[in-house]
Structure 1
Amino acid sequence: MTMATCGTVTALTLGLPASCAVPEAKGALPKGVFVAKAPASAKTKQHLAHDVARIVMLALLRPANTGLEAGTRIPEVLVMGLELADGTHEAPQDVVGLIAAQRKSGMLFACTRTHPDLGDQVAFAVRRALPGRAGHTPTYHVYVTDWQPAADAHLTIAGTTMDALFDSLCSQVILGTPDAENLDERIARAQRITQLEADIAKLTADHQRAKNPQVRNQAYAKLHKAKQELEALQSA
Structure 2
Amino acid sequence: MTIASCGSVSATTLGLPNSTAIPAEKARLPKGLFVAKIPVSAKTKQRLANDIESITMLSLLQARNTKLAAGTRVPEILVIGLRLHEPNAAVPTDIVELIAMQRKSGMLFVCVRDADFEGTTRQECAFAVRRALPARAGHTTTSKVFASDWQPAGEATLNATDPAVDSMDALWESLCSQVILDDPSPIDVNTRLARRMQIAQLTAQVDKLTRDHQRAKNPEQRNEIYAKLHKMKRQLEELQGQ
TM-score range, shorter chain: over 0.9
Tell me the amino acid that sits aligned with residue 235 of structure 1. Answer: G
Q: Deviations over 1:129-162 (max 9, x none)?
A: 0001235432000001110001110001141111
Q: Within the alignment, does 1:91 sit opposite 2:91 as a pair?
A: yes
Corresponding residue for 2:54?
Answer: 54
Percent sequence identity is: 58
- Unmatched tracts of structure 2, length 5 or more: none
Equivalences for residues 62-77 of structure 1 within 5 A: 62-77=62-77
Equivalences for residues 100-119 of structure 1 within 5 A: 100-117=100-117, 118-119=121-122
User: Are the equivalent residues in 1 in contact too, given 2:87–2:113 (CA < 8 A)?
Assistant: no
Q: Within the alignment, does 1:131 sit opposite 2:137 as a pair?
A: no
Distance change (3 Å), C-alpha of 1:71 and 1:134: farther
Q: What is the alpha-carbon distance in structure 2 between the residues aligned to residue 191 and residue 126 of structure 1?
A: 16
Q: Give 1:218 shift.
A: 1.7
Q: Give 1:88 shift.
A: 5.6
User: Are the equivalent residues in 1 in contact too, given 2:88–2:114 (CA < 8 A)?
Assistant: no
User: Are the equivalent residues in 2 in contact too, given 1:62–1:75 (CA < 8 A)?
Assistant: yes
Q: TM-score, normalised by structure 2?
A: 0.95
Q: Give 1:101 shift.
A: 0.8
Q: What is the alpha-carbon distance in structure 2 between the residues aligned to residue 111 and residue 25 of structure 1?
A: 20
SS at match of 1:95: helix
Q: What is the alpha-carbon distance in structure 2 between the residues aligned to residue 119 and residue 162 of structure 1?
A: 34
Give the one of 144, 147, 162 matched to 1:144.
Answer: 147
Distance change (3 Å), C-alpha of 1:137 and 1:39: farther
User: Are the equivalent residues in 2 in contact too, given 1:51–1:88 (CA < 8 A)?
Assistant: no
Stretches (4+) displaced over 6 A = none
Corresponding residue for 1:228?
Answer: 234
- Unmatched tracts of structure 1, length 5 or more: none
SS at match of 1:54: strand
Q: Give 1:182 shift.
A: 1.0
Q: Give 1:44 shift.
A: 1.5
Q: What is the alpha-carbon distance in structure 1 between the residues aligned to residue 88 and residue 69 of structure 2?
A: 39
Tell me the amino acid that sits aligned with residue 86 of structure 1. Answer: E
Corresponding residue for 2:6?
Answer: 6
Q: CA RMSD in A?
A: 1.1
Equivalences for residues 192-203 of structure 1 within 5 A: 192-203=198-209
Tell me the amino acid that sits aligned with residue 40 of structure 2. Answer: A
Distance change (3 Å), C-alpha of 1:161 and 1:53: same
Q: What is the alpha-carbon distance in structure 1 between the residues aligned to residue 189 and residue 26 of structure 2?
A: 34
Paired positions, count: 236
